[in-house]
Amino acid sequence: MLKMFDKSSEAILFFDGEGRALAANPAAEKILDRDVLRALLDGKEGALCRACAGYVDESGQVTCENCYFHHPERSDFTSFQLYLNTKGQGLVPYASSFHTVDAENDIRVFMLRDMTRQQRMQEKAYQNKMMKHIIDAQENERRRISRELHDGVAQELMSAVVDLRVLKYMTGDADVLAKVKETEASLSRLLEDIRNLSVELRPAALDDLGLDAAFRSHFKRLEEMFGLLVDYTSDLPVKRYENEIETVVYRVCQEAILNAIKYADVDTVSVTLKGEGSRLLLTVRDSGTGFTPGDQPQGTGLGLYGMKERAELVGGTLEVEAAPGAGTTIRLSVPALPRREAR
Protein backbone atom coordinates (compact mmCIF):
# COMPACT_ATOMS: atom_id res chain seq x y z
CA MET A 1 0.00 0.00 0.00
CA LEU A 2 2.82 2.41 0.87
CA LYS A 3 4.51 1.62 -2.46
CA MET A 4 1.29 2.47 -4.32
CA PHE A 5 1.06 5.71 -2.36
CA ASP A 6 4.61 6.70 -3.35
CA LYS A 7 4.49 5.54 -6.98
CA SER A 8 0.99 6.65 -7.92
CA SER A 9 0.73 9.18 -10.75
CA GLU A 10 -2.32 10.60 -8.99
CA ALA A 11 -1.83 13.15 -6.25
CA ILE A 12 -2.92 11.69 -2.90
CA LEU A 13 -3.31 13.54 0.40
CA PHE A 14 -4.62 12.28 3.73
CA PHE A 15 -6.53 14.61 6.06
CA ASP A 16 -7.89 14.36 9.56
CA GLY A 17 -11.37 15.38 10.60
CA GLU A 18 -10.29 18.98 11.13
CA GLY A 19 -9.06 19.33 7.57
CA ARG A 20 -5.37 19.16 8.44
CA ALA A 21 -3.09 17.29 6.02
CA LEU A 22 -1.45 14.21 7.47
CA ALA A 23 0.58 13.10 4.44
CA ALA A 24 1.11 13.87 0.75
CA ASN A 25 2.61 11.58 -1.86
CA PRO A 26 5.35 12.69 -4.35
CA ALA A 27 2.76 13.35 -7.07
CA ALA A 28 0.99 15.82 -4.78
CA GLU A 29 4.28 17.45 -3.82
CA LYS A 30 5.06 17.89 -7.51
CA ILE A 31 1.95 19.94 -8.29
CA LEU A 32 1.49 21.96 -5.11
CA ASP A 33 3.41 25.14 -4.45
CA ARG A 34 6.00 24.77 -1.70
CA ASP A 35 4.30 27.28 0.61
CA VAL A 36 0.92 25.60 0.14
CA LEU A 37 2.39 22.17 0.78
CA ARG A 38 4.22 23.37 3.92
CA ALA A 39 1.06 25.01 5.24
CA LEU A 40 -0.89 21.80 4.59
CA LEU A 41 1.58 19.59 6.41
CA ASP A 42 1.91 22.12 9.24
CA GLY A 43 -1.84 21.79 9.75
CA LYS A 44 -2.67 25.44 9.03
CA GLU A 45 -6.36 26.03 8.55
CA GLY A 46 -7.44 26.73 4.97
CA ALA A 47 -4.06 25.83 3.54
CA LEU A 48 -5.48 24.13 0.46
CA CYS A 49 -7.64 27.18 -0.22
CA ARG A 50 -4.49 29.01 -1.30
CA ALA A 51 -4.30 26.78 -4.37
CA CYS A 52 -7.99 25.94 -4.87
CA ALA A 53 -9.89 27.82 -7.59
CA GLY A 54 -13.20 26.06 -6.98
CA TYR A 55 -14.92 22.83 -7.89
CA VAL A 56 -17.68 21.96 -10.32
CA ASP A 57 -21.03 20.47 -9.44
CA GLU A 58 -24.23 20.06 -11.43
CA SER A 59 -25.02 23.77 -11.11
CA GLY A 60 -21.65 24.94 -12.44
CA GLN A 61 -18.37 26.14 -10.99
CA VAL A 62 -18.43 27.27 -7.36
CA THR A 63 -15.74 28.40 -4.95
CA CYS A 64 -15.95 28.04 -1.20
CA GLU A 65 -19.69 27.53 -1.00
CA ASN A 66 -20.49 24.06 0.37
CA CYS A 67 -16.79 23.12 0.28
CA TYR A 68 -16.14 19.46 1.07
CA PHE A 69 -13.67 20.42 3.84
CA HIS A 70 -16.27 22.59 5.52
CA HIS A 71 -19.03 20.01 5.18
CA PRO A 72 -17.44 16.60 5.81
CA GLU A 73 -20.85 15.09 6.52
CA ARG A 74 -21.88 15.38 2.85
CA SER A 75 -21.73 12.21 0.80
CA ASP A 76 -21.82 13.68 -2.71
CA PHE A 77 -18.15 14.67 -2.83
CA THR A 78 -16.97 11.19 -3.68
CA SER A 79 -16.28 12.35 -7.25
CA PHE A 80 -16.15 15.88 -8.65
CA GLN A 81 -14.03 18.21 -10.77
CA LEU A 82 -11.63 20.60 -9.08
CA TYR A 83 -9.42 23.42 -10.32
CA LEU A 84 -6.05 24.01 -8.66
CA ASN A 85 -3.37 26.63 -9.22
CA THR A 86 -0.40 24.32 -9.60
CA LYS A 87 3.34 24.75 -9.49
CA GLY A 88 4.60 25.74 -12.93
CA GLN A 89 1.43 24.71 -14.81
CA GLY A 90 -1.07 27.35 -13.81
CA LEU A 91 -4.73 26.47 -13.40
CA VAL A 92 -5.29 22.74 -13.96
CA PRO A 93 -8.54 20.72 -13.89
CA TYR A 94 -8.56 17.56 -11.80
CA ALA A 95 -10.94 14.67 -11.40
CA SER A 96 -11.13 14.51 -7.61
CA SER A 97 -12.49 12.32 -4.87
CA PHE A 98 -12.77 12.94 -1.14
CA HIS A 99 -14.01 10.24 1.17
CA THR A 100 -13.44 8.65 4.54
CA VAL A 101 -11.05 5.68 4.69
CA ASP A 102 -10.89 5.31 8.48
CA ALA A 103 -14.15 6.25 10.18
CA GLU A 104 -12.86 5.38 13.66
CA ASN A 105 -9.96 7.85 13.44
CA ASP A 106 -11.83 10.20 11.09
CA ILE A 107 -9.20 9.95 8.34
CA ARG A 108 -10.06 11.07 4.83
CA VAL A 109 -8.23 10.63 1.53
CA PHE A 110 -8.16 13.29 -1.15
CA MET A 111 -7.17 12.07 -4.65
CA LEU A 112 -6.48 14.17 -7.76
CA ARG A 113 -6.15 13.04 -11.38
CA ASP A 114 -4.98 15.55 -13.99
CA MET A 115 -7.75 16.00 -16.57
CA THR A 116 -6.01 18.51 -18.83
CA ARG A 117 -5.70 16.14 -21.78
CA GLN A 118 -9.27 14.88 -21.46
CA GLN A 119 -10.59 18.43 -21.16
CA ARG A 120 -8.71 19.49 -24.28
CA MET A 121 -10.14 16.52 -26.14
CA GLN A 122 -13.64 17.45 -24.97
CA GLU A 123 -13.11 21.06 -26.00
CA LYS A 124 -11.81 19.95 -29.39
CA ALA A 125 -14.77 17.63 -29.86
CA TYR A 126 -17.13 20.46 -28.93
CA GLN A 127 -15.36 22.88 -31.28
CA ASN A 128 -15.58 20.33 -34.09
CA LYS A 129 -19.26 19.79 -33.41
CA MET A 130 -19.94 23.53 -33.47
CA MET A 131 -17.81 23.96 -36.60
CA LYS A 132 -19.79 21.24 -38.38
CA HIS A 133 -23.02 23.01 -37.44
CA ILE A 134 -21.62 26.31 -38.73
CA ILE A 135 -20.44 24.78 -42.03
CA ASP A 136 -23.79 23.00 -42.48
CA ALA A 137 -25.59 26.28 -41.84
CA GLN A 138 -23.33 28.07 -44.32
CA GLU A 139 -23.92 25.46 -47.01
CA ASN A 140 -27.68 25.50 -46.42
CA GLU A 141 -27.70 29.28 -46.68
CA ARG A 142 -25.54 29.12 -49.82
CA ARG A 143 -27.98 26.61 -51.28
CA ARG A 144 -30.97 28.83 -50.46
CA ILE A 145 -29.41 32.00 -51.90
CA SER A 146 -28.19 30.12 -54.97
CA ARG A 147 -31.69 28.82 -55.67
CA GLU A 148 -33.16 32.28 -55.09
CA LEU A 149 -30.72 33.84 -57.53
CA HIS A 150 -31.25 31.15 -60.15
CA ASP A 151 -35.00 30.69 -59.87
CA GLY A 152 -35.93 34.24 -58.92
CA VAL A 153 -33.55 37.02 -59.90
CA ALA A 154 -32.08 35.29 -62.97
CA GLN A 155 -35.53 34.39 -64.32
CA GLU A 156 -36.77 37.96 -63.88
CA LEU A 157 -33.71 39.30 -65.68
CA MET A 158 -34.16 36.79 -68.46
CA SER A 159 -37.75 37.95 -68.83
CA ALA A 160 -36.57 41.57 -69.05
CA VAL A 161 -33.98 40.65 -71.72
CA VAL A 162 -36.68 38.91 -73.77
CA ASP A 163 -38.94 41.98 -73.49
CA LEU A 164 -36.10 44.19 -74.73
CA ARG A 165 -35.51 41.90 -77.69
CA VAL A 166 -39.20 42.18 -78.58
CA LEU A 167 -39.06 45.95 -78.13
CA LYS A 168 -36.40 46.20 -80.85
CA TYR A 169 -38.98 45.16 -83.41
CA MET A 170 -41.53 47.70 -82.17
CA THR A 171 -39.63 50.87 -83.11
CA GLY A 172 -37.61 52.19 -85.99
CA ASP A 173 -36.04 55.05 -84.07
CA ALA A 174 -32.26 54.62 -84.35
CA ASP A 175 -31.55 56.30 -81.00
CA VAL A 176 -34.11 54.16 -79.20
CA LEU A 177 -32.78 50.99 -80.87
CA ALA A 178 -29.21 51.85 -79.84
CA LYS A 179 -30.27 52.41 -76.24
CA VAL A 180 -32.32 49.19 -76.19
CA LYS A 181 -29.35 47.19 -77.53
CA GLU A 182 -27.05 48.78 -74.95
CA THR A 183 -29.47 47.97 -72.13
CA GLU A 184 -29.95 44.44 -73.43
CA ALA A 185 -26.19 43.89 -73.43
CA SER A 186 -25.87 45.24 -69.87
CA LEU A 187 -28.69 43.02 -68.61
CA SER A 188 -27.21 39.99 -70.38
CA ARG A 189 -23.87 40.57 -68.67
CA LEU A 190 -25.62 41.00 -65.33
CA LEU A 191 -27.59 37.80 -65.94
CA GLU A 192 -24.39 35.88 -66.64
CA ASP A 193 -22.76 37.30 -63.50
CA ILE A 194 -25.74 36.25 -61.40
CA ARG A 195 -25.67 32.75 -62.86
CA ASN A 196 -21.95 32.48 -62.12
CA LEU A 197 -22.52 33.74 -58.58
CA SER A 198 -25.31 31.21 -58.11
CA VAL A 199 -23.03 28.37 -59.17
CA GLU A 200 -20.16 29.62 -57.01
CA LEU A 201 -22.40 29.75 -53.97
CA ARG A 202 -23.69 26.22 -54.43
CA PRO A 203 -23.82 24.39 -57.79
CA ALA A 204 -27.19 22.77 -58.38
CA ALA A 205 -25.40 19.85 -60.05
CA LEU A 206 -23.76 18.94 -56.74
CA ASP A 207 -27.14 18.51 -55.04
CA ASP A 208 -29.00 17.02 -57.99
CA LEU A 209 -26.43 14.90 -59.84
CA GLY A 210 -23.43 14.35 -57.58
CA LEU A 211 -19.69 15.01 -57.50
CA ASP A 212 -18.74 13.82 -60.97
CA ALA A 213 -21.31 15.98 -62.74
CA ALA A 214 -20.55 18.98 -60.50
CA PHE A 215 -16.83 18.67 -61.22
CA ARG A 216 -17.29 18.45 -64.99
CA SER A 217 -19.56 21.49 -64.98
CA HIS A 218 -17.16 23.43 -62.74
CA PHE A 219 -14.10 22.61 -64.84
CA LYS A 220 -15.91 23.67 -68.02
CA ARG A 221 -16.69 27.04 -66.45
CA LEU A 222 -13.08 27.47 -65.34
CA GLU A 223 -11.88 26.92 -68.90
CA GLU A 224 -14.38 29.46 -70.23
CA MET A 225 -13.64 32.08 -67.56
CA PHE A 226 -9.88 31.69 -66.97
CA GLY A 227 -8.60 29.58 -69.86
CA LEU A 228 -7.54 26.92 -67.34
CA LEU A 229 -7.61 23.38 -68.69
CA VAL A 230 -8.40 20.75 -66.06
CA ASP A 231 -7.25 17.23 -66.90
CA TYR A 232 -9.92 15.32 -64.99
CA THR A 233 -10.24 11.56 -64.44
CA SER A 234 -12.65 9.78 -62.13
CA ASP A 235 -13.31 6.23 -61.02
CA LEU A 236 -16.18 6.14 -58.53
CA PRO A 237 -17.76 2.85 -57.43
CA VAL A 238 -21.05 4.58 -56.63
CA LYS A 239 -22.75 7.62 -58.10
CA ARG A 240 -23.72 9.44 -54.93
CA TYR A 241 -22.15 9.93 -51.50
CA GLU A 242 -23.38 11.52 -48.30
CA ASN A 243 -24.07 15.26 -48.70
CA GLU A 244 -21.38 16.19 -46.19
CA ILE A 245 -18.74 14.09 -47.95
CA GLU A 246 -19.61 15.44 -51.40
CA THR A 247 -19.52 19.01 -50.09
CA VAL A 248 -16.09 18.57 -48.48
CA VAL A 249 -14.57 17.01 -51.62
CA TYR A 250 -16.07 19.69 -53.87
CA ARG A 251 -15.00 22.61 -51.68
CA VAL A 252 -11.46 21.29 -51.22
CA CYS A 253 -11.06 20.82 -54.97
CA GLN A 254 -12.57 24.24 -55.64
CA GLU A 255 -10.14 25.91 -53.22
CA ALA A 256 -7.13 23.95 -54.49
CA ILE A 257 -7.79 24.97 -58.10
CA LEU A 258 -8.45 28.57 -57.08
CA ASN A 259 -5.05 28.64 -55.38
CA ALA A 260 -3.45 27.24 -58.54
CA ILE A 261 -5.10 29.98 -60.60
CA LYS A 262 -4.00 32.73 -58.20
CA TYR A 263 -0.48 31.62 -57.33
CA ALA A 264 0.83 28.71 -59.42
CA ASP A 265 1.06 30.48 -62.81
CA VAL A 266 -0.18 27.46 -64.77
CA ASP A 267 -2.69 26.86 -67.54
CA THR A 268 -3.27 23.16 -66.76
CA VAL A 269 -4.23 21.37 -63.56
CA SER A 270 -4.65 17.64 -63.05
CA VAL A 271 -7.56 16.35 -60.92
CA THR A 272 -8.15 12.70 -60.02
CA LEU A 273 -11.14 11.43 -58.06
CA LYS A 274 -11.50 7.76 -57.19
CA GLY A 275 -12.89 5.36 -54.65
CA GLU A 276 -10.38 3.05 -53.00
CA GLY A 277 -11.63 0.62 -50.39
CA SER A 278 -13.52 2.54 -47.74
CA ARG A 279 -12.03 5.90 -48.75
CA LEU A 280 -12.70 8.51 -51.39
CA LEU A 281 -9.47 10.00 -52.73
CA LEU A 282 -9.02 13.37 -54.43
CA THR A 283 -5.72 14.52 -55.92
CA VAL A 284 -5.18 18.02 -57.33
CA ARG A 285 -1.78 18.52 -58.94
CA ASP A 286 -0.15 21.43 -60.76
CA SER A 287 3.35 21.97 -62.13
CA GLY A 288 3.53 25.61 -61.17
CA THR A 289 5.75 27.77 -59.01
CA GLY A 290 5.14 25.74 -55.84
CA PHE A 291 6.19 26.86 -52.37
CA THR A 292 7.97 25.65 -49.26
CA PRO A 293 5.50 24.14 -46.76
CA GLY A 294 5.74 25.93 -43.44
CA ASP A 295 6.86 29.23 -44.95
CA GLN A 296 4.64 32.28 -44.84
CA PRO A 297 2.07 31.56 -47.56
CA GLN A 298 0.98 33.96 -50.22
CA GLY A 299 -2.35 35.53 -49.38
CA THR A 300 -3.90 34.88 -45.98
CA GLY A 301 -3.10 31.17 -45.78
CA LEU A 302 -6.70 30.53 -44.74
CA GLY A 303 -7.35 28.45 -47.86
CA LEU A 304 -5.09 25.57 -46.78
CA TYR A 305 -6.28 25.86 -43.19
CA GLY A 306 -9.91 25.71 -44.28
CA MET A 307 -9.28 22.65 -46.45
CA LYS A 308 -7.60 20.79 -43.59
CA GLU A 309 -10.34 21.75 -41.18
CA ARG A 310 -13.09 20.54 -43.53
CA ALA A 311 -11.26 17.23 -44.03
CA GLU A 312 -10.79 16.65 -40.29
CA LEU A 313 -14.44 17.37 -39.52
CA VAL A 314 -15.52 14.32 -41.57
CA GLY A 315 -12.70 12.07 -40.36
CA GLY A 316 -10.52 12.73 -43.39
CA THR A 317 -6.94 13.80 -43.98
CA LEU A 318 -5.35 16.40 -46.21
CA GLU A 319 -1.74 16.23 -47.36
CA VAL A 320 0.10 19.03 -49.14
CA GLU A 321 3.24 18.24 -51.11
CA ALA A 322 5.06 21.22 -52.58
CA ALA A 323 8.47 22.63 -53.39
CA PRO A 324 9.64 25.85 -55.06
CA GLY A 325 9.59 25.36 -58.83
CA ALA A 326 8.23 21.81 -58.52
CA GLY A 327 4.51 22.52 -58.29
CA THR A 328 1.96 21.56 -55.66
CA THR A 329 0.02 18.37 -55.01
CA ILE A 330 -2.94 18.23 -52.66
CA ARG A 331 -4.28 14.84 -51.58
CA LEU A 332 -7.58 14.49 -49.77
CA SER A 333 -8.80 11.24 -48.25
CA VAL A 334 -12.27 11.01 -46.71
CA PRO A 335 -14.58 8.15 -45.71
CA ALA A 336 -16.50 6.89 -48.76
CA LEU A 337 -20.00 6.94 -47.32
CA PRO A 338 -22.58 6.12 -50.03
CA ARG A 339 -25.78 8.11 -49.80
CA ARG A 340 -28.60 6.36 -48.01
CA GLU A 341 -31.75 6.46 -50.08
CA ALA A 342 -34.74 8.05 -48.40
CA ARG A 343 -37.61 5.69 -47.70
Fold of the 209-337 domain: Heat Shock Protein 90 (3.30.565)
Cross-strand partners of 57: 60
Looking at domain 7-114, its CATH superfamily turns out to be PAS domain (3.30.450.20)
CA–CA separation, 295 and 293 (whole Å): 6
Is residue 287 within 8 A of residue 265, CB to CB? The reply is: no
CB 318 within 8 A of CB 252: yes
Give the contacts of 170 (CB within 8 A, at least 6 positions apart): none
Mean pLDDT per 10-residue interval, the chain, length 343 residues: 77 83 88 86 79 73 65 64 85 85 85 88 86 88 88 88 86 86 90 87 90 94 92 93 94 94 92 94 94 69 83 93 91 89 50
Residues whose CB is less than 8 angstroms from the CB of residue 167 and which lie 6 or more positions away in sequence, other chains included: 180
Q: Please tell me the pTM assigned to this model.
A: 0.69
